[in-house]
Chains A and B, each alone.
Chain A
């Protein structure tokens, strides 16, 4: 079964700082990769996803992520964070060749951006 690790549990940044959140997964087959964001008091929203093709994926709100297959990683980046980016970020994976489409989530990273 696949699993997802997010090593940064809590990140505190100042506005305009650059962001990189780590995500590693464990599964040797084909994977679909996702980043979700959960703003305080709201439901999960999709930031970006990778299915195939260009390993550098651009999402909403200036976020991007790079799939590095050799490292089993899908790190999320943003060049300059804003106070409104304060939220919890979840990396998720599913393995389509297993027939299981449900997502497996990481434990999340809480991002706090200070003005």
Chain B
């Protein structure tokens, strides 16, 4: 069965550079969530989209932005990267409803040097 696809798997950037992370949800899923997991830390919610509209916002820095496109894939854009942005970024998708279940991608490991 198709799963949540994230690309790239690994990304190395330098300070002040920009990065774009992509997430392709499971087909027919209408909601995407982005999480940031720093080394040894619990996942922190960044932002979510439902039907291509931002539905919730967490601890996403102003330097980051995200959107969901017409084909439901989502991109997380990160500018002016800082060393502290080094983390695992993973997205999850779901289909809204009473039995909603999140499916997680494998994540993008971002290293900022």
Please name all residues of chain A whose beta carbon is closer than 8 Å to the beta carbon of B100 when the two chains form the complex: 101
The reply to whether the CB of A16 lies closer than 8 angstroms to some CB of chain B is: no
Q: Determine the interface band of chain B, counting residues with CB < 8 A from chain A.
A: 20 to 34
The answer for the CA separation of A101 and B31 in the assembled complex, in Å, is 10
Q: Which residues of B contact A107 (CB under 8 A)?
A: 41-42
**How many residues in A have their beta carbons less than 8 Å from beta carbons of B?**
17
**CA separation between A43 and B105, bound complex, in Å?**
6
* Stretch from A22-30, A45-53, A73-81 that touches the partner: A45-53
Chain B residues lying within 8 Å of A108, measured Cβ to Cβ, are 42
Residue of A at shortest CB range from B6? Answer: A43
Looking at chain B's contact residues, the main secondary structure is loop
Answer whether residue A104 sits at the interface, using C-beta atoms and an 8 A cutoff: yes
**Interchain nearest-CB distance for A105 vs B (Å):** 5
Q: Any chain A CB within 8 A of the CB of B48? A: yes
Mask: chain A, 42-76; 1 = CB below 8 Å from B; 0 = not: 11111001010000000000000000000000000
Asked if residues A103 and B102 are in contact (CB atoms below 8 Å), the reply is yes
B33 at the interface (CB under 8 A from A): yes
Q: What chain A residues lie within 8 Å of B42 (beta carbons)?
A: 90, 105-108
A residues sitting closer than 8 Å to B (CB atoms) are: 42-46, 49, 51, 90, 100-108
Q: Offer 17 A-B interface pairs, CB within 8 angstroms, sorted by A.
A: A42-B106, A43-B90, A43-B105, A43-B107, A44-B43, A44-B92, A51-B98, A90-B43, A100-B56, A101-B31, A101-B48, A101-B96, A102-B58, A103-B33, A105-B42, A105-B44, A107-B41
Which residues of B approach A to under 8 Å, CB–CB? 31, 33, 41-45, 48, 55-56, 58, 90, 92, 96, 98-102, 104-107
